[in-house]
Amino acid sequence: MSKVNMSDFLDHVNRGAVIEGGSQQHRFMHAAGQEALRVVAELNSGFRTPEEVRDLLSQLTGRAVHESVTVFPPFYSEFGKNLILGQDVFINIGCRFQDTGGITIGDGTLIGHGSTLTTLNHDVDPDRRADMIPARIVIGRKVWLGAAVTVVPGVTIGDGAIVGAGAVVTRDVPANAIVAGVPAKLIRMTGFDTSQF
């Protein structure tokens, strides 16, 4: 197998292929993570203007971050290059995004402080525990995640949904739903028409 590059790696994880422990993909992921950790350390090492924060997020993600995006540091990401932020996204203090498996956040979404989004599972077989299974998180438009929400790999949260503080989201959330709890359960529907979003 030839040497892995970023495009190859992203193709690999975005199709949900296993990252085998000790493989070339596994080594590439760890090496790429060092660059992400360098950028995150710079982001979190002192006061940064909103423009400086967006510039560092652009370095982290490898793509332009829209001027309407606001992130309050500290912010943590172990990979960065599989994170897509829409316009008018707000991410509050102390959020942790494990984006290796892919995180997409839609326009106008609010992420409460201390929230965690994870996109990698380990194999359940103890002999294969170092293997990782990537699964993208997709958060729709105008979603509101309360403080300290955890979203696990493979979850999609529909447009206009609200996730209550402290919830652990283990399965998809429909558009316009309000969910809360551990694991998150439907509380009610908001009644808003998100087809106009």
pLDDT confidence of residue 14: 97
Is 66 one of the catalytic residues?
Answer: no
* Ranges under pLDDT 70 in the chain: 1-2, 193-197
- List, edge to edge, every strand of the sheet that includes 116-118: 75-77, 95-98, 116-118, 150-151, 168-169
pLDDT digits (tens, 9 = 90+) for 33-72: 999 999 999 999 999 999 999 999 999 999 999 999 999 9
pLDDT confidence of residue 2: 58
pLDDT confidence of residue 1: 44
pLDDT confidence of residue 191: 75
Element housing 105 (H / E): strand 103-105
pLDDT confidence of residue 104: 98
Which of these is catalytic: 12, 26, 113, 122? Answer: 122
Burial class, 40, CB count within 10 angstroms (exposed 0-12 / middle 13-18 / buried 19+): buried
pLDDT confidence of residue 196: 59
Write down the residue that tokens 């949900």 correspond to.
Answer: 16
